[in-house]
Amino acid sequence: MDEPLRQFVFERAQRICEYCRLPDEFDPLPFCVDHIIAQQHQGPTAEFNLAASCFSCNSSKGPNIAGVDPDTGQLTRLFHPRRDIWAEHFHWNGPTVCGLTAIGRVTLYVLDINDPVRIEHRRLLIEEGVFPLKRL
């Protein structure tokens, strides 16, 4: 992937993970450009199929494009940052992200967004008064 495209994806996302909303400035690990539909599933390297992602979301997501809703057992696609609106699928409960829809719940589960270490990281950022960002 060329550098101008990488920069475009990060700038479009305001340097915030498009899944868990963590700003890259607070992540000790390098941010990634995520293929929303993985290359393994013929997802192209094109603006409409790319999202800024923290390392944790990206590595948990891998090539997944769906998961099983823990509430209903139904196969459900993952959140699509280019087509879906974050606030329609997720909301904050302190440092924990809650799923409002099957898509939200599956995405939280597959991407391990509420891993205890990640919740603790967000709790500390909230305590410092730097998270979530005012612009979110």
**What is the nearest approach in angstroms of Zn ion to the Cβ of residue 49?**
17
Single-letter residue type at 14:
Q
By CB under 5 A, name the binding residues for Zn ion: 17, 19-20, 54, 57
Closest-CA residue to 27 (of 135, 99, 102, 131): 131
Distance in angstroms (rounded) separating the CA atoms of residues 119 and 40? 30
Instruction: Please identify, using beta-carbon distances, which residue of 8 and 112 lies nearer to Zn ion.
Output: 112
Instruction: Please identify, using beta-carbon distances, which residue of 76 and 79 lies nearer to Zn ion.
Output: 79
**What is the nearest approach in angstroms of Zn ion to the Cβ of residue 57?**
3
Instruction: Please identify, using beta-carbon distances, which residue of 37 and 108 lies nearer to Zn ion.
Output: 108
**What is the nearest approach in angstroms of Zn ion to the Cβ of residue 73?**
26
Burial classification of residue 67, based on how many CB atoms lie within 10 Å of its CB (0-12 exposed, 13-18 middle, 19 or more buried): buried
**What is the nearest approach in angstroms of Zn ion to the Cβ of residue 94?**
17
Instruction: Please identify, using beta-carbon distances, which residue of 72 and 120 lies nearer to Zn ion.
Output: 120
For the chain, where are the E strands, in sequence order? 32-35, 50-53, 66-68, 75-77, 90-93, 96-99
